[in-house]
Amino acid sequence: MILLGTIVNCICIILGTLIGKLLHRIPEKVKTTVMHGIGLAVMLLGIQMGLKSEQFLIVIFSLVFGAILGEWWSLDDKLNLLGKWIETRVGSSSNEGTIAKGFVTATLIFVIGAMAIIGSLDSGLRQDHSVLFTKSVIDGFTSLVLATTLGIGVLFSAIPVMIYQGSISLLATQIEKWVPQELMDSFIVEMTGTGGIMIVAIGLNLLGLTKIRVANLLPGILVTAILVVILYYWSNLVDFTQAIISI
């Protein structure tokens, strides 16, 4: 079953959120310290991802042009509007944080990252769900802790996770047919680096140090793909030209 890994991932997010809601009576100072701990852990994850880039200029250009596109398209505002629409449908949340904030924060954490793409590709190409099962456990515990401070909005992040990962899994056979393995490997490396910077930004927001509109950086992933493709075929063209000249 191609979507098994994604379905398990969404179930873990939902279960984690529900368990986290049962633990909502944690003292406020404990919640604050826990949120700071999550923020620090998320930042460390982002730094580890960012350091995996092999061509950091791609990361820089991706973030710059991605930010321009994101601000132009107002992705952060639209994502927040979606969260607020969900909030009006299910009722306002309590002091733990708004449903919109929980939805946006959790969605960004669960969607950005190499595991989502690699795991979805493995599910679609080889029906190997081990990566997504591992991600499911991580996301489950993360949603549990986030729910204790950000509320039930975390649960609704399962919807974009299902759409995003499910789409990649279903399209995986076509991706393998048209995209060379070397190109895909290069994209995953640079996407991990670019996504890592976004994860660091999420961590800073969780710590309350910044209010970075991380969703407006998301087009950077698309820019990364374009730049990697250009460099891949440019490199092949240069190698081909040199081979012709040397004959």
pLDDT, tens digit, for every residue of 4-62? 999 999 999 999 999 998 876 777 787 788 778 878 887 888 898 889 899 999 999 99
The rounded mean pLDDT for the chain is 87
Q: Is the dihedral of CA 67, 71, 77, 78 positive or negative?
A: negative
What is the C-alpha to C-alpha distance for residues 184 and 232, in angstroms, rounded to an integer? 10
Over residues 73-80, the mean pLDDT reads 88
Tens of pLDDT, residue by residue over 124-179, are 888 889 889 989 988 998 898 888 888 889 999 999 999 999 999 999 878 777 88
Residue 203 has pLDDT above 50, yes or no: yes
